Amino acid sequence: MYRDGDILLTRDKLIFTVLGYTHPPSRVIAALKYIPEELKHLFPGEYEGVRWRLAGTTMLRQVDALTPRGYLRSLSVLREHFPAYVYCCPYLGKELIAVPTSRIERHITPQEGRLAVEEKPRRDPLEQKALELMQELEREAKLPEYTIGLRGSIALQMHTSSSDIDLAVEGAENYTRVIEAALSLEAKGRLEITRVDWISKRRLNRGVYREPGLSSTQ
């Protein structure tokens, strides 16, 4: 089963994030998140300054990769150079990015991303911090272990020391309990929730855990 936020690595070295929970037969609706540096010339746009390394390949990410504008630009490039990833939805009457399951090499769920960190015999400081954050939020929310999973570059094992900690929570009710737990940890001085604009004030799902600028909950 493919769920919103899951990670897809393809035979073409493209990395996608799954969008939604309903998908066409033999396809997964997704957004393009990372591309190999060797394909940068095909994808116009502004890139983040970070370079990620995955299995010997340098990966890049556009600044607006997951915005509507970035999605449409990726769709245009895929249509021209990787048409297998473009799907014409008969219900919406428009084209979407939809990864053929035949081209998926790895499908990483948040729980698998967490397990990959837990099972490492030696974790780096950011991996250890991510694990402690998930465990602390689960304890505070009184939720079972593995209710919270790990996404993003840490789940892919291609993070840098300044990468975000990108979390995923199973279930709407559990998500509410985790937000309440985050507020409780903030009151105890363990977490500082970001409130820089009206969106972050409403969502309360980004913050700094322990060391400023090192990690964020999402």
Residue 193 lies in a domain: yes
Q: Round the CA-based radius of gyration of the chain to a whole number and report it.
A: 18
Show which of 71, 91, 107 is a domain's final residue: 107
150 and 73, same domain (yes or no): no
Same domain for 86 and 164 = no
Q: What is the reported pLDDT for 18?
A: 97
1 inside domain: no
Residue 102 included in any domain: yes
Q: Are 118 and 41 within one domain?
A: no
> Does 97 share its domain with 114?
no
120 and 96 co-located in one domain: no
> Considering the domain boundaries, does residue 36 fall inside one?
yes
| Mean pLDDT calculated for residue range 76-98 | 96
In whole angstroms, what is the distance from residue 215 CA to residue 152 CA? 12
Amino acid symbol at 36? P
* Residue 215 is assigned to a structural domain of this protein: no
51 with 140, same domain: the answer is no
125-141 vs 172-187: helix axis angle to the nearest 10? 100
Give the pLDDT mean for 181-189.
Answer: 93
Instruction: Assess if residue 152 is contained within a domain.
Output: yes
216 occurs within a structural domain: no
Asked whether residue 141 falls in the same domain as residue 188, the answer is yes
What pLDDT, on a 0 to 100 scale, did the predictor assign at position 216? 41
Q: How confident is the model at residue 215 (pLDDT cuts 50, 70, 90)?
A: very low
Encode pLDDT of 186-212 as tens digits.
Answer: 999 999 999 989 888 899 888 998 754
**What's the pLDDT score for residue 211?**
55
Number of domains in the chain: 2
Same domain, 28 and 81: yes
Kindly provide the b/e burial profile for residues 102-136, where b requires at least 16 CB atoms within 10 angstroms of the residue's own CB. ebbeebbbbbebbebbbeeeeeeebbebbbebbeb
Among 107, 131, 159, which residue terminates a domain?
A: 107
pLDDT at residue 23, rounded to an integer: 96
pLDDT of 218 over the 60 cut: no
Q: Which domain holds residue 19?
A: 7-107
pTM of this structure:
0.87
- Residue 41 has a pLDDT of 96
Distance separating alpha carbons of residues 198 and 218, to the nearest angstrom: 16
Query: Is there a single domain that holds both residue 90 and residue 128?
Result: no
Which of 107, 138, 169 lies at the terminal end of a domain, its last residue?
A: 107
If asked whether residues 83 and 128 sit together in one domain, one would say no
Is 218 contained in some domain? no
**Mean pLDDT, residues 146-152:** 94
| 57-66: long-range pairs with CB below 8 Å, 24+ | 57/13, 59/15, 59/34, 59/35, 59/158, 60/34, 60/35, 60/36, 61/33, 61/34, 61/35, 65/31, 65/32, 65/33, 65/34, 66/17, 66/31, 66/33
Maximum separation of any 2 CA atoms in the chain, in Å: 53
Same domain, 84 and 156: no
Please indicate, yes or no, whether residues 128 and 114 belong to a single structural domain of this protein: yes
